[in-house]
C-alpha cells in the first residue's frame, strides 16, 4: 500500500516566532491547534462561553477607560490620553464581537446554509477600523503636543491610572486568551493579545510621569507618539489576519497534519485534495481519499467513519468532515 504525500514533513517543524507578533500569528490559527476542551466540542457551550467572556471584557474596559478619562481631564497628559483612546477603541471593538457571538447562535437557514458563524470574522473588520482611528487620533494629539508641549499635573493620579490600566488590561487579556483557545475563537484570542499589548502601553505612561517629575515634560508627548505608532503597527498586522480569515486561509501545516492522519487509516491508498477553512470558531474540512475498489459499501462507510473520527480527535473544532471516497487499485 502506497501513500501519496505531496506535503513536506518539514512543515511540521514550523518554528514558533517569539514576541507578541509571533504569538498573534500562532494563536490566530496559523499553527496547529492543540488546546482541547468540552466547550470546543459543544458549539452551543462554546458560543455561550464566548458571550460571557465578551460581556466581562466589555464591563472591565468601560471601568478602566472611564477612570482614565477622568484623570486625563485632571492632568492633561498626552501619554495617558493616548492610552485612554486606545482602551476606548478596545471597548468599541467588543460590541461587534458580542453581536457576532449572539448572531452565531441562530440556526442555519436555506439562505445561510452554513449558519452565521462567519459574522465573527466580519467583526474583525470593525476591530481594524477602530484601530486605524485610534492610531490616527493618538498620533495627531502626540504630534500636536510635541510641537507645543504643555506640562501636565496630578502626577500621582496619572501613575495610578497607568497601573490600573495595566492591571485591568492584563486581567481581561488572560481571560480572553484562555477562553478563546478553549472555544477556538481566533478573533477573541487576537483581541486578548491586543489587550495585553495595551496593558504594557499603560505601563509606558509611567515613563512619562517619571519624565515630568524630573522636569522633562517633552517625554509625555514622546510616549504618546510611541503608543500611537504601536497601535498603527497592530492595525497593519490585524489587517493581514482579517484578510487571511475572510479569504479562508489556514496554516499549511494544518493541511499537512490532516493529510498524514488520513494516510495512516487502514485501507486508504492515497489522499487527494484536502480543503480546510474556518467558519467563526469552527473548522470545516473536505477531502478525497482513494480506497481499494474491492471494498463493499459497508466497508467504505467504515473507512469514512474512521477518517472523520481520527480528524475530530485531533481537532475538536472540526465540526464538519466531508469525505469523498474514490475507487483505487483492487
Q: What is the CATH number of the domain that holds 126?
A: 1.20.1510.10
Q: What is the pLDDT of residue 103?
A: 87
* Mean pLDDT in residue range 59-84: 84
Q: Say how many C-beta atoms besides its own lie within 10 A of residue 85's C-beta.
A: 25
At 27 the three-state DSSP class reads helix
- The strand pairing partners of 278, in sequence order, are 283
- 292 and 275 share one domain: yes
Q: What is the pLDDT of residue 150?
A: 67
Pairing status of strand 270-279 against strand 282-291: antiparallel
Cell of 35: 488546546
Number of domains the chain contains: 2
For Cα atoms 301, 304, 305, give the angle at the middle one, nearest 5 degrees: 85
> Is 26 contained in some domain?
no
Query: Is the pLDDT reported for residue 329 higher than 70?
Result: yes
Q: What is the pLDDT of residue 111?
A: 93
For the chain, percent of residues with pLDDT exceeding 90: 21
> Is 269 contained in some domain?
yes
* Mean pLDDT in residue range 261-290: 93
Q: What is the pLDDT of residue 34?
A: 36
Cα distance between residue 323 and residue 214, in whole Å: 68
Specify the DSSP element, H or E, that contains 71: helix 43-75
Kindly indicate the confidence band of residue 168, based on its pLDDT and cuts at 50, 70 and 90.
confident
* Mean pLDDT in residue range 55-76: 87
Find the domain containing 270 and state its range. Answer: 252-327
Query: Is the pLDDT reported for residue 52 higher than 80?
Result: yes
- 198 and 286 share one domain: no
* Mean pLDDT in residue range 170-183: 84
Asked whether the beta carbons of 268 and 290 are under 8 A apart, the reply is yes
Query: Is the pLDDT reported for residue 35 higher than 50?
Result: no
Q: What is the mean pLDDT of the chain?
A: 79
- 263 and 186 share one domain: no
Cα–Cα distances (Å) from 69 to 75, 87, 88, 141, 198, in that order, read 10, 10, 9, 15, 16
* Mean pLDDT in residue range 240-251: 86
Asked whether the beta carbons of 120 and 97 are under 8 A apart, the reply is yes
**113 versus 50: which is more confidently predicted?**
113
- 239 and 293 share one domain: no
Cα distance between residue 242 and residue 124, in whole Å: 6
Asked whether the beta carbons of 50 and 193 are under 8 A apart, the reply is no
Cα distance between residue 21 and residue 240, in whole Å: 12
- Which range among 11-25, 68-82, 114-128, 299-313 shows the weakest confidence by mean pLDDT? 11-25
Amino acid at each position: 500500500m502506497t501513500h501519496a504525500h505531496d506535503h513536506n514533513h518539514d512543515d511540521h517543524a514550523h518554528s514558533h516566532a517569539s514576541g507578541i507578533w509571533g504569538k498573534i500569528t500562532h494563536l490566530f490559527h496559523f499553527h496547529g491547534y492543540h488546546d482541547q476542551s468540552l466547550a470546543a466540542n459543544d458549539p452551543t457551550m462554546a458560543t455561550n462561553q464566548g458571550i460571557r467572556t465578551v460581556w466581562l471584557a466589555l464591563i472591565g474596559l468601560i471601568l478602566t477607560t472611564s477612570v482614565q478619562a477622568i484623570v486625563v481631564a485632571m492632568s492633561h497628559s498626552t501619554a495617558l490620553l493616548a492610552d485612554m483612546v486606545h482602551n476606548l477603541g478596545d471597548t468599541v471593538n467588543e460590541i461587534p464581537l458580542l453581536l457576532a457571538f449572539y448572531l452565531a447562535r441562530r440556526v442555519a437557514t436555506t439562505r445561510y446554509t452554513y449558519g452565521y458563524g462567519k459574522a465573527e470574522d466580519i467583526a474583525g473588520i470593525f476591530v481594524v477600523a477602530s484601530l486605524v482611528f485610534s492610531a490616527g487620533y493618538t498620533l495627531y494629539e502626540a504630534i500636536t503636543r510635541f510641537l507645543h508641549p504643555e506640562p501636565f499635573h496630578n502626577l500621582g493620579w496619572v501613575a495610578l491610572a497607568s497601573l490600573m490600566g495595566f492591571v485591568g488590561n492584563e486581567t481581561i487579556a488572560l481571560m480572553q486568551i484562555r477562553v478563546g483557545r478553549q472555544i477556538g475563537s481566533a478573533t477573541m484570542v487576537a483581541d486578548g493579545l491586543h489587550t495585553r499589548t495595551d496593558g504594557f502601553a499603560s505601563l509606558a505612561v509611567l515613563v512619562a510621569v517619571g519624565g515630568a517629575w524630573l522636569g522633562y515634560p517633552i517625554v509625555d508627548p514622546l510616549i504618546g507618539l510611541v503608543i500611537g505608532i504601536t497601535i498603527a503597527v497592530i492595525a497593519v498586522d490585524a489587517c493581514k489576519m482579517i484578510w487571511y480569515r475572510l479569504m479562508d486561509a489556514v496554516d499549511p501545516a494544518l493541511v499537512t497534519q490532516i493529510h498524514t492522519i488520513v494516510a495512516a487509516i487502514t485501507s486508504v491508498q492515497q489522499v487527494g485534495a484536502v480543503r480546510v477553512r474556518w467558519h467563526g470558531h469552527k473548522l470545516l474540512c473536505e477531502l478525497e481519499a482513494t480506497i481499494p475498489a474491492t471494498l463493499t459499501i459497508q466497508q467504505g462507510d467504515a473507512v469514512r467513519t474512521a477518517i472523520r473520527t481520527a480528524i475530530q480527535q485531533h481537532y475538536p473544532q472540526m465540526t464538519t468532515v466531508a469525505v469523498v471516497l474514490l475507487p483505487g487499485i483492487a
